[in-house]
Chain A
Amino acid sequence: MKYFKLILSFVLTIGIFFALNTKFGSIPPIGKFLNPYTGVWQNEIDESITGEVSIPDLKDNVTVHYDAELIPHVFAQNDLDLYRAQGYITAKHRLWQMEFQTFAASGRLSEIIGAAALNYDRQERRRGMGYGAEQTLNKMAEDETTSAMVQAYADGVNSYINQLEPKDLPVEYKLLDYKPEAWTPKKTALLLMYMTKMLAGGDEDMENTNALRLFGKERFDLLFPDFFDITDPIISKDTDWSFIDVPQTPTPNSTPILDSISETIDKPNPDNGSNNWAVSGKKSTTGNAILANDPHLGLNLPSIWFVMQLSTPDHNAFGATLPGALAVISGFNQHIAWGETNATRDVIDWYKIEFNADRTQYKFDNQWKDVSVRVEEIKIKGKETYKDSVLYTHHGPVVYDKNFKSDQELAGYAMQWTGHIPGNGQKTFTELNKAKNYDDYTEALKNWIAPAQNFVFASTEGDIALWIQGLLPNKWEGQGKFIMDGSKSENDWQGFIPQEFNAHTKNPERGFVSSANQHPVDETYPYYVFNDGYETYRNRVINDFFNSKDKFSVQDFKDLHNNNYNLKAAEIVPYMLEHMDNSSLTEEEKAIYDEIKTWQFNNDINEVGPSIFRQWYGKLYDMVWDEFDVEDTALEQPFAYQTIYLLKNKGDDAFMDIVDTPETETAKDLFLLAFKEAAARLIEIKAEKGDYTWVTYKATHASHLLQGLPAFSVFDIPIGGDRSIVNATSEDHGPSWRMIVEMTSPPTAFGIYPGGQSGNPGSKYYDNFIDDWAAGKYHSLNFLQSNTATDAIISTQILTPKN
């Protein structure tokens, strides 16, 4: 009996140990997680930002001054120390995020969260994310300076990781019960690929092919014109292109492959975009050029940006950095300021591949070419490793084949993507951080391949400029809009637009430059450009604003960032109100009708108009494009601009008819049907939430990167705007970094982003910028001119060489 009790109690003891030390599903190992010595209670701290820390391989002391926003101002004596310190400091505040993003980039989430992520991981690997990062790494290795700096950054991250005790691990590691691995230059390359995918990882070739097959060329061209009837391009219409002496690739008159594709890989959020602009000294109230940038990305916590000042005796840069990449990405130094918006262009094309019987070769110009195989080994937490063999052709990876989203035994679709072209994009930023003038800026840009960006520029010398930079294929007319026959060399990319012929403008007559993801150029540009989902509203509001008066101030810039004017609504709502037959509206519907009638088209938080418009236009849009709801067929509905154009100009087109009803509807009928459905939904929302003011309706939130964990997210952020509005804040997407720089000497700058400098949900610096960001406020960026703490500095930490 004694022994029985002994054994029983022993088993119980082992049992409780096991139960509290093991992760079950999404429940963390509760003993490890909650104990006060190494569990989450140890994360109840603000970061330590005082004293001295010794770091291996530093050459000299590095001083890090922190201001009240927890922005580190880093003063190093040389570039290698600077980037080593950047790695260390970034890891100190954002370690989990920077590692998680590279796991996501490389298709390794299954290692952390298990089999649920397998399909995602396969997709990312088949997209060639790891392959692309390796190309980037090889290219960086050719440049000794870049590779040394990237290595120093990695070593800096690792010096932070190596001194971590289990109790110091960021809370997410404790929650998921894993540990950080060593940082490597490849992870920096992966982070750059992550951005490339986010900004240049989308295309519509498959969807376009399906639409062409279903509706025919004439209808396709009506729905998806290369240019809309209005274009307000980035590089203004009056540009003289006669200096371009390399012609567009002549068309081989090949025919697209009209295959039917049921499902495509995930695309980046189509709202990923941005605004930037600059006015010249003569258009500025103070005589100094002023520049602004606000990248629109997913609103996440920890924020995608980390703000830093990075200084050596040779240069002094300040602005938003990307945890994982070196140098300032959107910012300024003592001489220049720069910022980016996405220059979307069709840089992904799909080729149909025909294999031989054992899929070791593919047909090309009546010969057989060897495929190469890249075996992707996907480790899965708690399970056996999954191996996925991806076949590569000279175009790129065969993403879709019999093993993935396709059932064709001996055929597949290969992806050609500028994201796979070796490039040293990192150098663009380390060079921009040091640039002193326009020439340095253009020199830095030459290294930039993908994702193509609109790089805005202003200098203390008074220059403003904007280059649309990326390596862009010189396509024949129509190339890459649809799936191409991969067995014909005439369909290959025949070359690239020479870098100097990329569209750009310097000190234009109009006194300002701007970009908002619209068409880069109009039809007169000598190379083939077609509508790749270009923005048509923000750009016009911005350009109209800069054409509206002679001089602009920093305050005007702030106002424009926060401008909530809904041009899209202004272009369709009056038309709908005028043409809708409102005689059948019930009393409740009539009340809503009266509400939107008085709306002045501003998406301010207390308006109800924006919510009514969202519902009304949303329902209308779905009714117009019901023809696109085809089973097992990947289709993309036409863009808003063309939809509104057709509603107003071709209201009796067959597309207006709702296929499922016996009647033949016209646009006018749809206005009423959509309005009634919208009203019904709005009444429901009112019942659920109390009202449908825009702030309630939109309920903007910033979600934690890990599956949006509500505990680490911020909800109901009171901010107006919406997609297609200059203040492009929708539910979970918007201006991820607002920056304004006036080119005084040294520059005077303001910036803010929806998050906080700390990645620790237990820190008061985790989300402390959000309220000011939502209110349209900015923080003065304390641009220190020397390594001396000013009043703005709350604490200083010295990094010292470790002997």
Chain B
Amino acid sequence: MSKNIINFIVTIVLAYLLSLFLPWWSVMTAALATALFIPLRKVAVFVIPFLAVLLFWFVMSYFLSSGNDFTLAKRIAVLLPLGGNPYVLMLVTGVVGGLAAGIAAIFGKQLSLVLVGRK
């Protein structure tokens, strides 16, 4: 398995585990930690954790709201405003989480470089 795929999976698993006792920024912690221990290269540094958390939050939002006919998601998609489309809201949710994770991962990568350099 490529490092990209491993990083992707570990980010999701870690994000899930940390979410059990940390607030929303647990995705940042997860991506940072993954970036430290499973370093990636170039755009993948950002893109992999970004996609991982995007997918994770999108799917989780979908499951939370599908059982309730997307009642609230439709309303929030009016509030924000996203044309009342709950899937757009899921995408936005995913992108928000993904951005936070991706940026935290860049920091993690830089941190790992500095730490490695010191050895």
> Which residues of A are interface residues toward B (Cβ below 8 A)?
2-3, 5-6, 8-10, 12-13, 16-17, 20-21, 30-32, 34-46, 166, 171, 175, 709-712, 760-764, 766
Contacts and interface: CB of A to CB of B under 8 A. Distances in A.
Nearest to B112: A6
B103 interface: yes
Given A13-B103, A40-B76, A761-B75, 6 more contacts: A6-B114, A13-B106, A17-B28, A20-B96, A45-B68, A764-B68
Interface stretch (B4-12, B36-44, B56-64): B56-64
B93 to A, nearest CB: 4
B81 to A, nearest CB: 8
A40 B96 contact: no
Nearest to B75: A711
Contacts of B75: 711-712, 761-762
A13 B103 CA distance: 6
B62 to A, nearest CB: 9
B25 A17 contact: yes
The 7 closest A-B pairs by CB, nearest first: A762-B72, A35-B24, A711-B79, A711-B78, A36-B60, A9-B107, A6-B110
B48 interface: no
Given A9-B103, A31-B24, A764 B65 contact: no
Interface residues of B, number: 41
- Which among A30, A31, A766 has the greatest number of chain B C-beta atoms within 10 A? A31
B13 interface: no
A62 B113 CA distance: 62
A770 to B, nearest CB: 15
Given A36-B57, A712-B75, A762-B75, A41 B106 contact: no
B117 A2 contact: yes
A31 B60 CA distance: 15
Contacts of B72: 40-41, 43-44, 171, 760-762
Nearest to B19: A37
A190 B25 CA distance: 38
A35 B67 CA distance: 17
19 contacts: A2-B114, A5-B110, A6-B111, A8-B110, A9-B103, A10-B107, A10-B110, A12-B107, A16-B99, A30-B96, A35-B57, A35-B96, A35-B97, A37-B19, A39-B24, A41-B64, A44-B64, A44-B73, A46-B68
A37 B15 CA distance: 11
- Which among A43, A171, A175 has the greatest number of chain B C-beta atoms within 10 A? A43
Contacts of A166: 23
Contacts of B14: none
A37 B61 CA distance: 9
- Which among A37, A39, A166, A764 has the greatest number of chain B C-beta atoms within 10 A? A37
Given A35-B93, A40-B72, A42-B64, A2 B110 contact: yes
Interface in B91-107: 92-93, 96-97, 99-100, 103-104, 106-107
Contacts of B19: 37
A152 to B, nearest CB: 33
B64 A2 contact: no
- Which among B28, B72, B96, B110 has the greatest number of chain A C-beta atoms within 10 A? B72
Contact of A34 (B23, B96, B109, B111): B96
Contacts of A45: 68
Given A5-B110, A711-B75, A44 B24 contact: no
Contacts of A41: 60-61, 64-65, 72-73, 93
Contacts of B76: 40, 711
B113 A12 contact: no
A31 B57 CA distance: 11
A126 to B, nearest CB: 34
A42 to B, nearest CB: 7
A12 B23 contact: no
A35 B75 CA distance: 16
Contacts of B111: 6
Nearest to B115: A6
A724 B67 CA distance: 44
Interface of B: 19, 23-28, 32, 57, 60-61, 64-65, 67-73, 75-76, 78-79, 89, 92-93, 96-97, 99-100, 103-104, 106-107, 109-111, 113-114, 117
Given A3-B114, A16-B103, A44-B67, A710 B78 contact: yes
Grouping DSSP codes into helix (H, G, I), strand (E, B) and loop, the B interface class, with mixed when no group exceeds half, is helix
Contacts of A39: 24, 93
Contact of B100 (A2, A17, A171, A763): A17
A140 B50 CA distance: 59
Contacts of B99: 16
Contacts of A34: 89, 92-93, 96-97
Contacts of B68: 44-46, 762, 764
Contacts of A16: 28, 99-100, 103-104
A763 B107 CA distance: 41
Contact of A13 (B23, B28, B57, B79): B28
Nearest to B22: A37
A760 to B, nearest CB: 8
A470 B63 CA distance: 54
A41 B110 CA distance: 33
B64 A9 contact: no
B112 to A, nearest CB: 10
B27 to A, nearest CB: 8
A46 B23 CA distance: 23
B51 to A, nearest CB: 16
Contacts of B114: 2-3, 6
Contacts of B96: 20, 30-31, 34-35
Nearest to A36: B60
- Which among A8, A30, A36, A45 has the greatest number of chain B C-beta atoms within 10 A? A36
A12 B64 contact: no
Contacts of A760: 72
A70 to B, nearest CB: 14
Given A34-B92, A36-B64, A9 B110 contact: yes
- Which among B65, B69, B109, B111 has the greatest number of chain A C-beta atoms within 10 A? B65
A3 B113 CA distance: 9
B113 A2 contact: yes
Nearest to A762: B72
Contacts of A175: 79
Contacts of B78: 710-711
A31 B25 contact: yes
A592 to B, nearest CB: 36
B93 A763 contact: no
A31 B71 contact: no
Nearest to A766: B71
B106 A36 contact: no
Nearest to A8: B110
Contacts of A40: 72-73, 76
Contacts of B97: 31, 34-35
Given A709-B79, A762-B72, A763-B71, A36 B107 contact: no
Contacts of A43: 72
Contacts of B103: 9, 12-13, 16
A709 to B, nearest CB: 7
A35 B61 CA distance: 8
A32 B26 CA distance: 11
Contact of B65 (A44, A171, A710): A44
B80 to A, nearest CB: 8
A764 B57 contact: no
Contacts of B104: 13, 16
Nearest to A166: B23
A35 B28 CA distance: 12
Contacts of A2: 110, 113-114, 117
A235 B70 CA distance: 52
